[in-house]
C-alpha cells in the first residue's frame, strides 16, 4: 500500500473519500483499474488532469508512480 | 522587489493588508489593488474553496513571480482564502506597487485573471442544504486569453 | 449606484477610505482601487497641485458620472488632493465596486487616465529653493487615447 | 471694474497675481489689450484655453464677458 491517490473537488465526492492508498508501482492502466465506475470515467476525461508529487503531467497516460508518491486527480478549477 | 503570497484558511482584512503593503512601498508612485469578495447572490448561503496543498500555493507563488517579471512592478501581494466563506467575506486580495500606474494596474489585472481561471481552487456553493460544485466560466477563459 | 467625489486640501488615509467604501458595497463581488502618491524622486522635496474652484471638482464629478455609466459599476469613489504634498503623501484614490472584476478594474483605469491628463490640475515641484511647473507628459495623452 | 480675470498654473506667475479685475464688457480683443507682453503671448497660444464662469469656450476668440463674469486663463494641465 504505497501510492497515495488524492481526489480533488467533485472527484472527492465521487470517490467518497479525499485520499486512498493503492499498491506501488502505479501506471495509467493500473490507475484506471483501481478506479471503478464514474471515477474511472472522470479520470479518462481530457479535462481531468493528473499530478505526481505536485507536478502536473503533460500526458497523463505516461503516469509512473512508485513507493511514497502522491498522485492527484484534478478536475477543472473553478476559481476564486 | 518584494513578493508576499499567502494562502489563508482564516478571515483577513483587505484594508489592513493594503495599508501595510502601502507603508512597505512608500515612495513608489502607484498602488493598485483588487479585492474579491463573496457576492450576495440570491439564495447562496456560503461557498467553500478547496485547495491542494502540493500545488495551490506553489502555483500562486509562480504566478506572482511571473507578474513581477512581466510588468516590472516593485512589489506584489497575493492573499487568497480557502475554506468556507459567507456573503461579503473577502476571498482574494491582489495588490501591486510600482513607479507608474499602468504597470501596477496591469499586474493586478493579470494576476486576477490567472487566479480566477488558472489556479488550483475548486469551488462549491451552499443553497439550502445542498452543496453544488461550480464549473469554470467561459468568461474566465476569454479573460485569460487576453494575456497571450 | 453611489458616487463619492472629493477634492481635499488636507491629507487623507487611502486604506481607511477603501475600508469604508468596501463596507458600503458589501455583497458586490469586486472592488478595485488605485492609490497615487508622491514619488520619492531624486531631489524633489515637495509638489504643489493647484486647482480652479469653478472647474476642477465639477470636472471630477462629470468624470465619475461618465465612468459609472460606461462601466456599469455600482459605486465609484474619487478623492484628489490639492495643495502642497511631500514624498510618500497620497495624491489620489480611485475605487470602483461592481459585480464583476473587469468592470471595476476598467472603471478605475479609465478614471485614472482622465484624472492624470484631462482634469483641471496644475503641478509644480520644489527642488532646493526653486519651484518648477510640470508640463503634460506625452504618455498621459497616449493613455487617454485608449478610451476612444 | 467688473470682469474678474483668473490666471491658473504658471500664468499666475507670468501675471504676478492670481486674479485681476478689468472693465466690462470684455471680448477677445479687449482681453488681449488687457494682457501685456508674455501674458498676451501665452493667451494666444492654442494650448491656452479660456473659460467663462467655469464653462470652457470651444473657440476663445468668441469671448463675450459682462458685469460680474469670471474669465479664467487655463494653461495645459499637468495631472495628479
CATH of the domain at A22: 3.10.20.30
pLDDT at D80 over 70: no
> How many Cβ atoms sit within 10 Å of the Cβ of residue C77?
25
Domain assignment present for A80: no
Q: Tell me the C-alpha to C-alpha distance, in Å, between residue B145 and each of B71, B110, B140, C103.
A: 17, 10, 9, 17
Contact B136, A10 (CB under 8 A): no
| Gap between the terminal Cα atoms of chain C | 25
Alpha carbons C114 and C92: distance in angstroms, whole number: 12
Contact C26 B37 (CB under 8 A): yes
Chains B and A touch, using 3 or more CB pairs below 8 Å: yes
pLDDT at D12 over 80: yes
Contact B27 C39 (CB under 8 A): yes
Q: Which domain holds residue D7?
A: 2-74
* Residue in this structure with the C-alpha cell 494576476, named with its chain if needed: B111
Backbone angles phi, psi at C141, to 5 degrees: -70, -35
* A53 touches B: beta carbon within 8 Å: yes
pLDDT of residue C135: 84
Peptide bond into D25 cis (omega under 30): yes
Contact D54 C55 (CB under 8 A): yes
The closest CB to that of C50, out of D8, D70, D76, belongs to D8
Q: Which residues of C touch D79 (CB under 8 A)?
A: 115-117, 119, 121, 123, 134, 136-137, 140
Contact C52 D74 (CB under 8 A): yes
Domain assignment present for D79: no
**Tens digits of per-residue pLDDT, B64-112?**
999 999 999 999 999 999 999 999 999 999 999 999 999 999 999 999 9
Domain assignment present for A59: yes
> How many Cβ atoms sit within 10 Å of the Cβ of residue C81?
25
Query: What is the pTM for the complete model shown?
Result: 0.94
What does the H/E/C string look like for D6-73? EECCHHHHHHCCCEEEECCCEEHHHHHHHCCHHHHHHHHCCCCEEEECCEECCCHHHCEECCCCEEEE
Domain assignment present for D80: no
| Domain locations in chain C as residue ranges | 2-145
The set of chains that have 3 or more CB pairs under 8 A with B is A, C
- Cα angle: C59, vertex D76, B101; to 5 degrees: 70
Contact A76 B135 (CB under 8 A): yes
pLDDT of residue C144: 84
CATH class of C2-145: alpha beta
* D9 touches C: beta carbon within 8 Å: yes
Q: Which residues of C touch B40 (CB under 8 A)?
A: 26-28
Q: Which residues of D touch C140 (CB under 8 A)?
A: 79
pLDDT of residue A80: 62
Q: How many domains does chain A have?
A: 1
pLDDT of residue A1: 60
pLDDT of residue C143: 83
pLDDT of residue C122: 96
- The single-letter DSSP state of residue B99 is S
Looking at chain B, the whole-number percentage of residues with pLDDT higher than 70 is 100
C-alpha closest to that of C112 among C75, C64, C49: C64
pLDDT of residue B137: 77
Within chain A, which residues score under 50 in pLDDT? Answer: none
**Tens digits of per-residue pLDDT, C96-130?**
999 999 999 999 999 999 999 889 999 999 999 99
Alpha carbons C121 and C114: distance in angstroms, whole number: 11
Contact A8 B116 (CB under 8 A): no
Contact B49, B85 (CB under 8 A): yes
When pLDDT is cut at 50, 70 and 90, the band that residue D66 belongs to is very high
Within chain C, which residues score under 50 in pLDDT? Answer: none
Backbone angles phi, psi at B106, to 5 degrees: -70, -35
pLDDT of residue A78: 86
* C47 touches B: beta carbon within 8 Å: no
pLDDT of residue B49: 96
The closest CB to that of B39, out of C29, C112, C116, belongs to C29
Peptide bond into D28 cis (omega under 30): no
Amino acid at each position: 500500500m504505497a501510492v497515495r491517490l488524492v481526489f480533488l473537488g467533485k472527484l472527492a465526492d465521487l470517490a467518497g473519500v479525499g485520499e486512498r492508498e493503492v499498491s506501488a508501482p502505479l501506471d495509467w492502466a493500473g490507475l484506471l483499474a483501481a478506479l471503478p465506475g464514474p471515477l474511472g470515467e472522470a479520470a479518462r476525461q481530457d479535462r481531468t488532469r493528473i499530478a505526481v508529487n505536485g507536478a502536473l503531467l503533460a500526458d497523463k497516460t505516461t503516469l509512473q508512480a512508485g513507493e511514497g508518491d502522491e498522485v492527484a486527480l484534478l478536475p477543472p478549477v473553478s476559481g476564486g | 522587489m518584494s513578493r508576499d503570497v499567502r494562502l489563508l484558511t482564516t478571515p483577513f482584512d483587505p484594508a489592513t493588508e493594503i495599508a501595510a503593503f502601502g507603508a512597505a512601498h512608500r515612495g513608489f508612485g502607484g498602488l493598485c489593488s483588487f479585492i474579491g469578495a463573496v457576492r450576495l447572490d440570491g439564495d447562496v448561503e456560503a461557498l467553500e474553496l478547496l485547495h491542494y496543498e502540493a500545488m495551490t500555493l506553489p502555483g500562486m507563488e509562480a504566478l506572482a513571480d511571473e507578474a513581477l517579471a512581466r510588468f516590472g512592478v516593485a512589489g506584489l501581494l497575493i492573499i487568497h482564502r480557502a475554506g468556507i466563506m459567507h456573503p461579503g467575506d473577502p476571498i482574494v486580495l491582489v495588490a501591486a506597487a510600482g513607479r507608474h500606474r499602468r504597470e501596477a494596474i496591469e499586474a493586478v489585472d493579470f494576476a486576477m485573471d490567472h487566479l480566477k481561471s488558472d489556479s488550483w481552487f475548486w469551488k462549491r456553493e451552499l443553497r439550502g442544504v445542498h452543496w453544488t460544485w461550480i464549473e469554470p466560466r467561459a468568461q474566465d477563459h476569454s479573460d485569460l486569453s487576453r494575456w497571450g
